[in-house]
């Protein structure tokens, strides 16, 4: 007989105001996690599913900034969400225009 214990549902919410590093704003497991996820969906917030990242972030305190080791990963996630929302850096259009002009 195999032990198929299902992992508890986990959720971690991050906020980023453009200054410093993103901070932990909510964490929870099971019912609390489901409520965090439901509130995020209702608010139109994108949800990234990564059990390993969630497990690591669960160990941080509310209000704590993410550690430097996660800066690149979280920055990539934030950039991806911005692109999904149609937001690009100002230089983005200029960069593409320069490529077109050189072609």
What is the residue extent of each domain of the chain? 10-102
What residues contact 12, with CB distance under 8 A and at least 6 apart? Answer: 24, 26, 27, 54, 57, 58
Report percent pLDDT > 90 for the chain: 53
Top-confidence residue, 6 or 26? 26
Mean pLDDT, rounded, for 37-58: 93
- Look at the block and give the residue holding tokens 């599913």: 49
Predicted TM-score (pTM) above 0.75: no
Mean local confidence (pLDDT), 34-44: 95
Per residue in 73-96, pLDDT tens? Answer: 998 888 888 888 877 766 666 655
Q: Which three-class secondary structure state does DSSP give residue 65? A: strand
DSSP string, 88-102: --HHHHHHHHHHHHH
Q: Considering the domain 10-102 in this protein, what is its CATH number?
A: 3.40.1690.10
Report residue 2's pLDDT band, with 50, 70 and 90 as the boundaries. Answer: very low
What are φ and ψ of residue 9, in 5° steps?
-70, 135
In the structure encoding, which two tokens stand for residue 73, read together?
């990963």
pLDDT attached to residue 5: 59
65 forms beta bridges with: 23
């Amino acid at each position: 007989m195999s032990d198929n214990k299902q992992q508890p549902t986990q959720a971690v919410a991050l906020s980023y105001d453009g200054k410093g590093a993103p901070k932990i704003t909510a964490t929870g497991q099971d019912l609390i996690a489901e409520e965090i996820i439901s509130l995020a969906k209702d608010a139109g917030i994108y949800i990234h599913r990564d059990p390993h990242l969630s497990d690591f972030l669960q160990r941080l305190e509310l209000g704590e900034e993410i550690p430097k080791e996660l800066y690149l990963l979280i920055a990539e996630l934030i950039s991806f969400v911005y692109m999904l929302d149609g937001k690009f850096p100002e230089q983005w259009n200029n960069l593409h225009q320069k490529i077109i002009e050189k072609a």
